[in-house]
Amino acid sequence: MEKKRKNRIIIFFKTAMLVLTLIYPCMMTILSGAGVYYNRESYGAELGNVGILLVLSGILMTLGAVLCIFRKNIINVISLVFSCSGFALCMTMLYKLCDHADRAGWSDKYTMTPVSDMYKSRIIPCIAPFVMAAAFAVIQLVSYEAAEERRIRKLKKQQKENAPAPKIIDEQ
């Protein structure tokens, strides 16, 4: 009964992570980057590159979150690499975008709030699905079940290597 409850909790949190990933890295980050890239003529070539890299970071974080659902070791390592690199790239591009917006004095024409605040409020919540994906990947890598699986695989390999050689000549 305890294992069933534990599995339900894990499924709940993984589902929550996927929903948050769909909203923030997938929608907010990718669409913000696409908008910046789409308007690159008026923003400049440097911000066009920032837009492309924001889209790439959103894709990497989304792939990292999707891959951490699976329990294979190599897939969890790839998930961790994608999630961490995507998040680092996202935060770096957010900094560059907000810095440029603040230096250029961009603001909402109705409320006069800085545009950088809008970008921050859209993209900073990517922290939640990133932390969840990274935590799931690490937990699955160092879990007891994964360690047991590696130990069993190692034992099978040793048994296969130490197995007696098949007979070459059939004795009758």
Return the half-sphere exposure (C-beta side, CA atoms, 13 A cut-off) of residue 53.
18
Q: Is the pLDDT of residue 86 over 70?
A: yes
Two tokens, residue 136: 């799931």
CA distance 56 to 54: 5
pLDDT for 1 beyond 90: no
User: Of 61, 59, 65, 77, which Cα lies nearest the Cα of 16?
Assistant: 65
| Digit-coded pLDDT (tens) for 23-69 | 999 999 999 999 999 999 998 888 999 999 999 999 999 999 999 99
The yes-or-no verdict on residue 159 having pLDDT over 70 is yes
**Residue 78, exposed/middle/buried by CB under 10 A (0-12, 13-18, 19+)?**
middle
**Residues 42, 45, 49, 52, CA torsion sign:** positive
Higher pLDDT, residue 171 or 65: 65
First to last CA, the chain: 56
Residue 22, pLDDT > 80, answer yes
Q: How far apart are CA 113 and CA 98, in angstroms?
A: 13
Q: What's the average model confidence in pLDDT over 66-95?
A: 95
pLDDT attached to residue 82: 98
Q: 117-135, pLDDT tens digit by residue? A: 999 999 999 999 999 999 9
In this prediction, residue 134 carries a pLDDT of: 96
- Helical spans, DSSP H, in the chain: 2-21, 30-38, 40-43, 45-67, 73-104, 115-123, 127-142, 144-161
Q: What is the gyration radius of the CA atoms in the chain, in angstroms? A: 24
The token pair that represents 137 in the structure block: 């990947």
**What pLDDT does residue 49 have?**
96
